[in-house]
Structure 1
Amino acid sequence: MQNTNETNPKTSILSEKLFSLVKTLLFVLIVWMLYKTFKDKQQNIGDLIVECQKALVWENLWKGILLILLIFFNWGFEAKKWQQLALKIEDISFQEAFKGVLMGLSLGFITPANLGDYAGRMWKFQHQKRAESIGAILLGNGIQFYISLLFGTLSFVYFLVTQHQLFLGFNAVIVIVLAISLFLGFFAYQKRHLFYLLILKIPFLKRFAHTIKILEHFTNQEVKKVFFWGLMRYLTISLQFVLVLLIFQIKLNLLDLWTISCLIFLVKTIVPAINFLGDLGIREFSAIYFFSFYQVNTAAVIAATFVLWLINILFPVLVGSILVLKTRVSI
């Protein structure tokens, strides 16, 4: 009697070929999107080259080395955060977590709303555990959002005070909305177990309840650990931004540079992430706006934000795309 559970060799070979084709297509799509990004930004390439030539001085050597080293700390802290979150689903190594983060970054680069990030981080889990991982990813993203919101709000208040902008009209509305958002975020953390019960009562959301049920199982201590790694990553990115601005000779005091970097990250966080440029356009626009209140070289600002994108997004995306090409995922 033939065993019906035995895998058909022809079907297995066909599945492997199909999956290899999908991975190759994803790799080609990522490379094409990178090419399109550069093509769309050609109007800045000339200024970028000029400003980079100005920045290539011996005094900037140590800053450049530190800037490059911080790439690994940036995504390393994100990997530690993901590893901590994943413990509720499956015990994964730091190496596996790091690989998942880079693959997620690469796939997120070519998908609206960064949806590919979820697929990249799920690669290690068995099929039946992938739904649970969505809730863990949402928790991690929510904590990172809150950290950006917290520092962005404090920076916006400092910015208004130092630039003598009155807390009236639209500025007052922004401050109030940010403050309310911070309160709601803290409330959501304290009452996160209620989200599952709430979704169970909403008919059209009830079918997604199993994806966030995992939120009930995170203790306060575990959430604090996730918050710590998210905070370390945020401070690393902020330091990178300040360094790259110093390299391009943006002559402001360190507190102002750090404040503007926090404001740029705030805008990047709250603006809907439906874009294919890895937040490049948003970062440039917000940088130009906030630096317009100071007497600085606009071309140098654009060059600095572009270089930061190159090292923090482009390089990891390329590495992640190679990992996507080489990875075998159980289906």
Structure 2
Amino acid sequence: MTSNKNIKILLNYVIGPLVFCLLAWSIYQQLLRQNNWKASLQHAWRATTGVEWWKMVLAIVFMFVNWGVEARKWQIAIKQVQRLSFIQSCKAVFTGTTLAFFTPNRIGEYMGRILYLGEGKRIKAISLTIVCSMGQLLVTLWVGIGGILYLQSYGNTELLHTFAGLWLKLVLYAAIAGAVILTLFYFRLAGLVRWVEKMPRLRKPVSYIRVLDNLNATILLRILSLSVLRYSVFLGQYYLLFDVFDVHITVAQVAGSVSVIFLVLAIVPTIAVITELGVRWKVGIEVVQLFDSNITGILATSLAVWIINLVIPALIGSLLILGIKVFNNRK
């Protein structure tokens, strides 16, 4: 227990900030190489209150659509153990976002969501929540693979012959392997449960995941389709914000580059409050500059998306967590 605690402290308070500082330094050096970077930075700041302000507002509205779709997806899955209203599901999702903000690769999200379930149903609900994440990850992997292939075909050929082209190939191979394996697992969950049941030592844990037997192909496809819809909302946000911050790329280029950003974020271990922003910045620059060299605009877009999709929902969730504590104290 002490050893695990020390490892967590090392990751969260030493390695995490160190990685962020290294990324920030690398980004700063790239920013300095951009012509008139100070003027570009000022322009990016003015853009938030300029004639394109409505696009920023629309991106914020999309945030509520995004988490609303996620809430509906979780509501469908969790129905196997407990029925929740759409409002309750939304509260659970926002609460999960708050806890995810401080944990590696958002694993705290599961614990935040199950606070709204009955005590005897919480452990079973974790496996269903993981299925929702698997559906989103499947979309991220397959679309990301398509994005890499697009970048390799239509991106800046000079940059693709540098280190950027090498790491794109490595990510592509890893994504293909992961996507194939995950797809097989996703559509064979019931078979997986039955296979684990045959192992005597795992009979007790199996009782908590047996609920996956109830997830038929129709439910799994609904979860997958909602994941695609949510992914489309993300792309819409990026397209709007790129336009706000004068990053001039087409719809196809947005889809190709952003899909690779999401793919890398899904593969690389990050902590939202420490390293994820740095990774977003770094990957965003490396990928989007294949089509546009406005590094300041790319940084501003990545920051805006991070604030809109993670910081604001985490703040909303923190208020909901406070409400839960106040309610429990009164009770």
- Scaled by the length of structure 1, the TM-score of the pair is 0.79
Q: Name 1:24's counterpart in structure 2.
A: none
Residue in structure 1 matched with residue 31 of structure 2 by the alignment: none
| Secondary structure of the structure 2 residue equivalent to 1:123 | helix
CA distance in 1, matches of 2:288, 2:214: 44
The answer to whether the Cα contact below 8 Å between 2:101 and 2:271 also exists between their aligned partners in 1 is: no
1:155-177: CA deviations, max 9, x gaps? 111111113559x9765554344
Which of these residues, 97, 100, 112, is aligned with residue 89 of structure 2? 97
5+ residue gaps in structure 2? 1-16, 29-36
Q: Which has the larger radius of gyration?
A: 1
Superposed counterparts of 1:63-78, under 5 Å: 63-78=55-70
- Contact 2:144/2:260 (CA < 8 Å) preserved in 1? yes
Q: CA RMSD in A?
A: 3.2
SS at match of 2:249: coil
1:112 is paired with a residue of what secondary structure? coil
CA distance in 1, matches of 2:293, 2:66: 27
Contact 1:242 1:261 survives alignment (8 Å):
no
Match of 1:315 among 308, 312, 316: 312
How far apart, in 2, do the equivalents of 1:232 and 1:130 lie?
Answer: 27
CA–CA distance in 1 between the matches of 2:42 and 2:205?
52
Deviation, 1:207, is 4.5
SS in 2 for 1:184: helix
CA displacement 1:56-90 (0-9 Å, x = unmatched)? 46541332231121111011111111111111111
1:228 partner letter: S
Give 2:122's match in structure 1, choosing from 104, 127, 130.
130
CA distance 1:79–1:161, shift in 2 (3 Å) = same
Of the structure 1 ranges 134-143 and 114-123, higher mean CA displacement relative to structure 2 is found in 114-123
Alignment match, 1:191: 188
Instruction: Please report how far the alpha carbon of residue 309 of structure 1 lies from its aligned counterpart in structure 2 after TM superposition.
Output: 0.9
Give the distance between the partners of 2:293 and 2:177, measured in 1 at CA.
33
**Residue 217 of structure 1: aligned partner:** 214
Contact 2:73 2:223 in 1 (8 A): yes
| Deviation of the 1:115 alpha carbon | 3.0
Mapping for residues 216-235 of structure 1, pairs under 5 Å: 216-235=213-232
Gaps of 5+ in 1: 1-35
State the AA in 1 paired with 2:313: P
Residue identity matched to 1:288: I
Question: What does 1:223-302 correspond to in 2, within 5 Å?
Answer: 223-274=220-271, 276-277=273-274, 279-302=276-299
CA 307–262 in structure 1, closer or farther in 2 if over 3 Å, else same = same
- How far apart are 1:187 and its partner, in Å? 1.7
For residue 10 of structure 2, what is the aligned residue in structure 1? Answer: none
The offset of 1:186, in angstroms, is 2.4
Cross-structure match for 1:11: none
Structure 2 contact 102–271 (Cα < 8 Å) conserved: no
Structure 2 CA distance for aligned equivalents of residues 142 and 275 of structure 1: 19
| Inter-partner Cα distance in structure 2 for 1:88 and 1:206 | 20
Distance 1:311 1:199, change over 3 A: same
Which deviates further from its counterpart, 139-148 or 186-195? 186-195
Alpha-carbon distance, 1:206 to partner: 5.2
Cα distance per residue 1:280-330 (max 9 Å; x no partner)? 222111101112323421122111100111111111111100100111588
> How much has 1:212 moved relative to structure 2?
2.1
Task: Tell me which residue corresponds to 1:116.
Answer: 108
Q: Secondary structure at the match of 1:277?
A: helix
Q: How far apart are the structure 2 equivalents of 1:178 and 1:291? A: 19
* TM-score normalised to structure 2 length: 0.79
Post-superposition CA distance 1:102-144 (Å, at most 9, x none): 0000011123342321121111211110011011011001110
**1:284–1:203 Cα change, 3 Å:** farther
Question: Secondary structure of the residue that 1:121 maps to in structure 2?
Answer: helix
Number of paired residues? Answer: 295
User: When you count helix as a share of all residues, which structure comes out higher?
Assistant: 2
Q: Is the 8 A contact 1:106 1:320 kept in 2?
A: yes
CA distance in 1, matches of 2:262, 2:242: 15
